Amino acid sequence: MGDSRERLKTFPIEVRWEVGGAIDNAELGDSHKSASPIRGIQAIEIVADFDRDTYRCYYATKFKGHIYVLHCFKKKSKRGVKTPKPEIDLVKKRLKDAEAHFKTLTQAERER
């Protein structure tokens, strides 16, 4: 959703592999060691640390047969582990956008 793909492409290759592995696991119905559900939001967070930086990626699996990558970013704050509110707000907005997109799919597209 949005610019998630473009942002992910700017991450170090090691982080992209970790995010890709987590999404591959989700496609198979499994959970990756770096993935954890976000309370209050129907989304999964991947936290990847690399070279003293922290990268986060959020995706949703609640849509049968589809995974939506909602947001990816490099965490800038060095204090605390809490995700900044503007980032969470963007995840929530994109989750609503994903729900709207999923509703536009035909039955055949939903089941593939």
Q: pTM for the whole thing? A: 0.85
- The pLDDT confidence band at residue 93, using thresholds 50, 70 and 90, is very high
**pLDDT tens by residue, 43-81:** 999 999 899 889 999 999 888 888 999 999 998 766 666
- The tokens for 18 are 């970790």
35-37 vs 44-50, strand pairing mode: antiparallel
**Does the structure show a pLDDT above 70 at 40?**
yes
User: Are 72 and 55 within 8 A, CB to CB?
Assistant: yes
Mean pLDDT of 16-38: 89
- The tokens for 37 are 């559900």
Q: What is the pLDDT of residue 78?
A: 62
Residue with tokens 């930086």: 53
Residue ranges in the chain assigned as alpha helix (H):
4-9, 13-27, 85-104, 107-111
Q: How far apart are CA 66 and CA 26, in angstroms?
A: 10
